[in-house]
């Protein structure tokens, strides 16, 4: 995210507006301590329990958690004949994970060619039944410590139109800024024609903002699915946008004025 994507210093297209040069390969690796206790559970067995994990930040990829061998139930790992080769990290050896009657093939891997990655094992995030960051269940994936969400009250004038009809009009939106993404404008329901919106079954989850609920537009002959979303119960960094709606659809015109 900040470091590895979208023009971050470890992306394949780092910013030009700096007074330094990063020498080395275009594809970059950065191995960093993860500061909290992490646990993973499969089939009722704790597979991972450590306060000494590391995150591998790798160009154009989400960070990957690596666990020291002493933080793994190594007796539940079975060596696999499967291998892969990465042009940047070398050859990976794999293990399958067995917990009770559950077996997940090739769910763990390690790279030994880089000395600073020896002794650390990655576990496929989706292979586990649950992950915990300290005592909290992790949904989606671990948060990148370099990814940030800020919400600020604004005095911008924002109008949302469908053709000539106003759907929303406010002078008090919330501006949500998220690392590597464009600002999003969230509008309170009192400033929206909620009579032309209906709840959609669509749901998505963001590890930084929480679960999003979607809204569809029904106005005369127009039926537009998922024109807006909101966070009914957002995570802590997005609390100020709670129950506000953000609009984005190719048929909508969103006007924004600084006032």
The pLDDT assigned to 167 comes to: 97
Average pLDDT (207-213) is 96
Domains of the chain in sequence order: 29-137 (2.170.150.40), 149-257 (2.170.150.40)
Residue 1 has pLDDT above 70, yes or no: no
Instruction: Give the percent of the chain with pLDDT over 90.
Output: 84
Do 27 and 199 meet the contact criterion of CB atoms below 8 Å apart? no
3-class DSSP assignment, residue 228: strand
DSSP state of 248: -
Nearest to 2 by CA among 140, 144, 182, 177: 144
Between 220 and 34, residue with greater pLDDT? 34
CA atoms in the 13 A half-sphere facing the CB of 120: 23
pTM of the model: 0.88
Distance CA 174, CA 136 (A): 28
Strands 38-42 and 29-33, by their bridges, are unpaired
3-class DSSP assignment, residue 70: helix
Q: What is the pLDDT of residues 130-175, one digit of tens each?
A: 999 999 999 888 999 999 999 999 999 999 999 989 999 999 999 9
How far, CA to CA in Å, does 72 sit from each of 99, 171, 225? 13, 53, 45
DSSP string computed for 20-68: ----S-SS-EEEEE--S-EEEEETTEEEEEES--EEEEETTS--EEEEE
Do 83 and 94 meet the contact criterion of CB atoms below 8 Å apart? yes
Residue 58 has pLDDT above 60, yes or no: yes
Give residue 220's pLDDT band: very low, low, confident or very high (50, 70, 90): confident
Residue 90 has pLDDT above 70, yes or no: yes
Distance CA 239, CA 91 (A): 44
DSSP state of 160: E
């Amino acid at each position: 995210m900040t470091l590895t994507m979208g023009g971050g210093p470890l992306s394949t297209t780092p910013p030009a507006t700096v007074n330094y040069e990063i020498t080395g390969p275009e594809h970059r690796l950065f191995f960093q301590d993860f500061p909290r206790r992490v646990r993973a559970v499969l089939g009722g067995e704790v597979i991972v329990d450590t306060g000494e994990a590391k995150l591998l930040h790798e160009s154009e990829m989400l960070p990957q958690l690596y666990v020291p061998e002493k933080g793994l139930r190594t007796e539940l790992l079975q060596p696999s004949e499967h291998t892969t080769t990465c042009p940047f990290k070398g050859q990976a050896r794999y293990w399958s994970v067995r917990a009770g009657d559950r077996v997940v093939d090739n769910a763990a891997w390690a790279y030994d060619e880089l000395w600073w990655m020896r002794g650390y094992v990655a576990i496929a995030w989706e292979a586990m039944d649950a992950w915990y960051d300290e005592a909290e269940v992790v949904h989606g994936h671990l948060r990148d410590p370099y990814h940030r969400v800020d919400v600020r009250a604004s005095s911008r004038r924002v109008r949302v139109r469908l053709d000539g009809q106003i759907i929303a009009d406010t002078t008090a939106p919330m501006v949500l800024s998220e690392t590597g993404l464009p600002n999003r404008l969230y509008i309170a329901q009192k400033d929206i024609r909620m009579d032309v919106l209906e709840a959609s079954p669509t749901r998505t989850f963001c590890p930084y903002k929480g679960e999003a609920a979607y809204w569809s537009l029904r106005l005369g002959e127009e039926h537009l699915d998922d024109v807006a979303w909101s966070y009914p119960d957002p995570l802590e960094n997005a609390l100020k946008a709670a129950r506000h709606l953000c609009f984005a659809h190719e048929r909508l015109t969103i006007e924004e004025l600084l006032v």
